[in-house]
Each structure stands twice: as C-alpha cells, then as structure tokens.
Amino acid sequence: MSNQYQIDLKKYSLQKYKKSLQSRDMIPSRKSLKDELDARFRILKERGIKNLKELIDALKTKQKIEQFSKETGLSIQYLTLLNREARSYISKPIRLDKFSGIQTKYLDRLDDVGIRNTRQLFVEAQDKRKREQLAKEIEIPLDLLNELVGLSDLSRAYGVGPVFARMIFDMGIRSIREFVECTAEDFIRIYEEQTQKKADFGVGEIQFSLELARDLDIAIDM
C-alpha cells in the first residue's frame, strides 16, 4: 500500500490543531485565531468535531460555514479563517517544471507517462525499485530522477515551495526523512554555513514546518 502524500487529516486531532495555533507565531491577518481559543474550541468539540478532516468537512463550503455560524454563534469571519488555516496543513502538488535545474526534455518524458506534478511523482516513484524501472522505461538518468523525487518529497513540508525545496536539497537534506532529523537550530546553522548569509526565516517557522513534517508518511529513502 502506497504512503500518503499529505498528512492523515483523520489522525490530526482537534486538540493538536488547537495546540498548534496556540504555540505558533502568526502573520498579522491570522493572529485573531488565537483569541478566545479555549472557548471556541470547546464549541467545536461539543459539535462532535474530533480531527482536522471533520473540521474541514464541516466548513467545506460557504453555505456550510454560514449554517455552522448560525448553529454555534461563531462568526463567519472566524470560521472562514480557521478553515483556511486548517487547509494550509494539506500538502499541495507542485508542477515539476517549477523546480530549477531540471532539463525540459526529461520533464517531457515524465509528462508522456502522465507524471506532471509532485504528487504524481511521489505516488509513482516513492519505491526505489519503481524509480529504477521508471528511469529505464523513459530513459531518464536515475540520479536526476532521484533528485526530482527528493525535491518532490521535501515540497510536502509546510511552507516549502519549489525554490525552498531546491535550497534545502542543495544543503544536503534530500528527503523528509532527513529533514525531520534536524532541529530548527541545526537547520538554520547548516543553511548559514552553506550559503554564507544570514537566514531570512526564524526558528519558529522552521520548528512548525518540522513538527508538521513529522506527521507525514516517511516514504522516500534516498
């Protein structure tokens, strides 16, 4: 059975989501999520919501949010923001051509077999033997395919887009398995040593990305 590309929303409890909001540094537009946290999450719990999947399902559409607001007294603005934040925990697929350093001819060969984004590559090439077989079938160097798989794996982490994934990979961290072995302080130290410049991201940002990455399936062994 294949590993999941994103975190298992059913296993990410409402209590864990609450603690995540409580401990994180928020951007100004989302700081209001911390207001009256205990009282608001008590209402969610009373509504029978136990995990992130149930929360996202309950707030899936504008109409559902409006109905939920009427029934609970929680504002539409708050529920919309809460849902948006919850959805940000879901790893989104990225087009493979967004990664730098990959020749177009190899991307075209992957495209020919229906692999155009990180999710598709993760599903089709997470197993080492499958990667070797795929590399032979479409005539793509195995080292390059491994690189692209590593970039795709890293991009599953919260806040990691194609540019940041490339930067992490070039630091020598080649997969989620290796990423979660770091501490935030180690990560920043390695970054600054490799790039010879001060990190423009903080310990808190990396710490949260690492925490959420630990809820991902460790699927890729480079």
Every domain of the chain and the residues it spans: 14-87, 96-213
pLDDT of residue 1: 46
Q: Residue 192 and residue 79: Cα distance in Å, rounded?
A: 39
Output the six-digit token pair for 144: 């390059």
3-state secondary structure of 126: coil
With contact defined as beta carbons under 8 Å apart, do 102 and 96 qualify? yes
pLDDT of residue 24: 87
With contact defined as beta carbons under 8 Å apart, do 210 and 182 qualify? yes
At which residue do the structure tokens 């929303």 appear? 9
* 207 Cβ contact partners less than 8 Å away, ≥ 6 residues apart: 184
What are 199-215's pLDDT values in tens digits? 988 999 999 999 999 99
pLDDT of residue 49: 98
Indicate the residue type of 12. Y
pLDDT averaged over every residue in the chain: 95
What are 161-204's pLDDT values in tens digits? 999 999 999 999 999 999 999 999 999 999 999 888 899 889 99
Model pTM score: 0.92
> How far from chain centre, in Å, is Cα 143?
24
pLDDT of residue 2: 63
- Which regions of the chain are under pLDDT 50? 1
